[in-house]
């Protein structure tokens, strides 16, 4: 029996305009407040559009896992992302997505991960060799360049050191436009003669041109397998499916997808980890002691990952308090259906915000406290299943999760072994800016101090 009862939520008021304005002005505060007031599933109405915030573990599970065929990525959002990523696994659905996901997955096998770890380690060494013994750094820039150079080398063996800042700016501009354009009721085509559209076309040409050149050069080189992701995508055969391979266009789309999805999120996670460690010197000291004990006088490598247990918990906790993907891609109900027993009309939007769930006292004790010990084996059972999901859940769960955790752990360990970090004297209060990934508004200045060799 279906019920027509809507989930609790605020009155829509005049066409829901006020609600929509509050949402777009401060989405973090708005979604948090709605869930605090109305509970794990909140109904919102924007004019004729029904929308829900699915914040409770049961609702999250119903949308992302049990109902992944009913709740699909919303078409307008998917089309906007497609302009950047093409038909990569982030924008596709159904059989085509499944085939591509199987092929891409092969690039994350254990032997490939060991090679990616080696790249991370070398790039981190190069970064800290440039750092002063004592001085202030813009840590978001440092982490963005490091993760961008690392992902470029692991995905397609290109040294982006000289161009990383410029390419990061282009991709950042594309993400900024994505958020602005999705939030605007008026959709103008990309050819429209506006400065913002011209800049967007330029950024798209720079990104796609770079990827196309990399694929062409590799094809022409005759030595396709170099141990990177591109080698794998060019040679992978879908043995479980149609026995076919990817076309060059499909390879370009998947490489663009992995490149764009892979570095900004990881850089955001690292920046917030440094912020939290700078705010919690006791935990930073314990994590430094772990890094120095496990690594002795060298940099972190693949084999160290399992032993760096406290640093891994620090990262898990940092991804709880500051989940880079603070809001998942918008979902849409493809049929009239239900969530937690409440009616959900066809074409309703579903917002899933790890930021809200991770910071709610409904699911986490003392939720705003930075407490890596939540993730010890003795306490992890206190976290309700599906309440912690920085990498999403279900079939579309992040394909780069293991790589991201590996990369972050090795970077944090190597940096901690060499440097102490505090907030710079000129760093004011830190505000969160909800972009495609959350980041400290205006950047984050840290003071670094090289440890005296002892």
Q: How far apart are CA 140 and CA 431, in angstroms?
A: 13
Identify which range of 173-181, 200-208, 265-273, 369-377 contacts ligand HEM by CB under 6 A. Answer: 265-273
Note whether 57 binds ligand HEM by CB under 6 A: no
CB nearer ligand HEM, residue 314 or residue 420: 314
Beta-strand runs (E) in 55-174: 71-73, 134-138
DSSP structure class, residue 87: S
392 contributes a contact to ligand HEM by CB under 6 A: yes
Instruction: Select from 32-40, 320-328, 333-341, 419-427 the region that touches ligand HEM (CB under 6 A).
Output: 320-328
- Smallest separation (angstroms) from ligand HEM to the CB of 428: 26
252 is in an annotated binding site: no
Is 59 one of the binding residues for ligand HEM (CB under 6 A)?
Answer: no
Nearer CB in complex with ligand HEM: 372/390 = 390
* Contact region with ligand HEM (CB under 6 A), list: 34-42, 171-179, 302-310, 397-405: 397-405
| Given 262, 372, 420, 440, the residue binding ligand HEM (CB under 6 A) | 262
Give how far the C-alpha of residue 73 lies from the chain's centroid of Cα atoms, to the nearest Å.
16
Separation of alpha carbons 76 and 59, rounded Å: 23
Asked if 325 touches ligand HEM (CB under 6 A), the answer is yes
CB of 97 to ligand HEM, least distance (A): 7
Contact window for ligand HEM (CB under 6 A) among 220-228, 279-287, 306-314, 394-402:
394-402
Indicate the helix (H) or strand (E) that contains 290.
Answer: helix 281-295
Examine residue 258 and tell whether it contacts ligand HEM (CB under 6 A).
yes
| Distance between CA atoms of residues 176 and 174, nearest Å | 5
399 binds ligand HEM (CB under 6 A): yes
CA distance readout (Å), 93 to 70, 73, 290, 301, 348: 12, 8, 43, 36, 18
Q: Name which position in 9, 27, 67, 324 contacts ligand HEM (CB under 6 A).
A: 324
Query: What does DSSP assign to residue 62?
Result: I
Indicate whether 206 belongs to the interface with ligand HEM (CB under 6 A): no
Give the integer Cα–Cα distance in Å for 408 and 419. Answer: 16
CA 242, distance to chain mean position in Å, is: 31
Question: How would you classify residue 341: left for phi > 0, otherwise alpha for psi between -120 and 50, otherwise beta?
Answer: left
Q: How far apart (Å, rounded) are the C-alpha atoms in residues 133 and 136?
A: 10
What minimum distance in Å lies between the beta carbon of 358 and ligand HEM? 12
Nearest to ligand HEM of 45, 264 (CB atom): 264
Candidate list 27, 390, 434, 440; residue touching ligand HEM; CB under 6 A: 390
* Distances, alpha carbon 351 to alpha carbons 72, 191, 216, 311, in Å: 12, 30, 39, 31
Helix (H, G, I), strand (E, B) or coil at 32: helix
Interface with ligand HEM by CB under 6 A: which residues? Answer: 89-90, 101, 257-258, 261-262, 265-266, 269, 324-325, 328-329, 390-392, 396, 398-400, 403-404
Which residues make up each annotated binding site for heme?
Answer: 398
């Amino acid at each position: 029996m279906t019920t027509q009862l809507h989930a609790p939520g605020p009155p829509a008021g005049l066409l829901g305009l006020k609600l929509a304005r509050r949402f777009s002005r401060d989405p973090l505060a708005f979604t948090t407040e709605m869930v605090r007031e109305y509970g794990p599933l909140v109904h919102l109405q924007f004019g004729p559009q029904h929308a829900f915030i699915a914040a409770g573990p049961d609702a999250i599970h119903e949308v992302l896992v049990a109902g992944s065929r009913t709740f699909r990525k919303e078409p307008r959002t998917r089309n906007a992302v497609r302009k950047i990523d093409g038909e990569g696994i982030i924008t596709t659905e159904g059989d085509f997505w499944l085939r591509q996901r199987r092929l891409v997955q092969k690039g994350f096998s254990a032997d490939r991960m060991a090679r990616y770890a080696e790249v991370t380690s070398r790039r981190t060494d190069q970064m800290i060799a440039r750092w002063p013994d004592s001085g202030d750094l813009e840590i978001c820039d440092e982490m963005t360049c490091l993760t961008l150079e690392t992902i470029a080398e692991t995905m397609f063996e290109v040294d982006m050191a000289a161009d990383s800042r410029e390419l990061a700016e282009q991709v950042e501009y594309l993400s900024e436009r994505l958020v602005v354009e999705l939030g605007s009721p008026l959709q103008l085509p990309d050819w429209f003669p506006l400065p913002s559209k011209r800049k967007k076309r330029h950024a798209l040409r720079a990104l796609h041109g770079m990827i196309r050149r990399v694929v062409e050069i590799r094809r022409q080189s005759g030595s396709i397998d170099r141990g990177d992701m591109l080698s794998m995508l060019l040679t992978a055969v879908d043995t479980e499916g149609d026995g076919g391979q990817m076309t060059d266009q499909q390879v370009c789309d998947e490489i663009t997808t992995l490149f764009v999805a892979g570095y900004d999120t990881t850089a955001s996670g690292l920046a917030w980890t440094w912020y939290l460690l700078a705010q919690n010197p006791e935990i930073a000291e314990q994590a430094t002691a772990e890094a120095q004990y496990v690594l002795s006088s060298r940099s972190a490598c693949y084999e160290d990952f399992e032993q760096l247990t406290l640093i891994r918990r620090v990262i898990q906790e940092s991804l709880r308090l500051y989940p880079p993907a603070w809001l998942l891609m918008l979902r849409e109900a493809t049929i009239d259906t239900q969530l937690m027993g409440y009616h959900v009309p066809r074409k309703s939007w579903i917002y899933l915000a790890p930021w809200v769930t991770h910071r709610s006292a409904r699911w986490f004790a003392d939720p705003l406290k930075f407490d890596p010990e939540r993730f010890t084996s003795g306490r992890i059972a206190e976290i309700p299943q599906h309440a912690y999901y920085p990498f999403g859940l279900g079939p579309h769960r992040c394909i780069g999760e293991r790589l991201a955790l590996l990369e972050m752990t090795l970077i944090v360990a190597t940096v901690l072994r060499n440097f102490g970090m505090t907030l710079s004297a000129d760093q004011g209060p830190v505000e969160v800016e909800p972009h495609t990934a959350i980041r400290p508004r205006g950047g984050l200045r840290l003071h670094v101090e090289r440890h005296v060799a002892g």
